[in-house]
């Protein structure tokens, strides 16, 4: 499983990093997105729903995780 942790601040918007991971991953690849931003979570979730990609939501004290296969 490939993990993308958006809590680590980089020079790009986390949504760009997430979309890059989704679009460049081979079909069947398992991805895990970890975020502490409700906005990033909502946008990613909306994209997955639009593309009919099933996902699992995991809520922890200070983070939200989305797990899915592309």
**Contact between residue 66 and residue 15 where contact means Cβ atoms under 8 Å apart:** no
Does this model's pTM top 0.85? My answer is yes
**Contact between residue 30 and residue 3 where contact means Cβ atoms under 8 Å apart:** no
11-45 confidence digits (pLDDT tens): 889 999 999 999 999 999 999 999 999 999 999 99
Q: What is the pLDDT of residue 10?
A: 78
Q: How many CB atoms lie within 10 A of CB 29?
A: 14
21, HSE (Cβ side, Cα atoms, 13 Å)? 22
Q: How many distinct structural domains can be found in the chain?
A: 1
What three-state secondary structure class fits 42? helix
Supply the range of the domain harboring residue 57. 2-69
Q: What is the CATH number of the domain that holds 62?
A: 3.30.110.40
């Amino acid at each position: 499983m490939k993990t993308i942790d958006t809590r680590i601040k980089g020079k790009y918007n986390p949504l760009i990093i997430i979309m890059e991971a989704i679009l460049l991953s081979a079909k069947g690849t398992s991805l895990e997105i970890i975020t502490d931003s409700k906005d990033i979570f909502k946008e990613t979730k909306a994209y997955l729903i639009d593309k009919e990609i099933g996902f699992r939501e995991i809520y922890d004290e200070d983070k939200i995780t989305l797990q899915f296969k592309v």
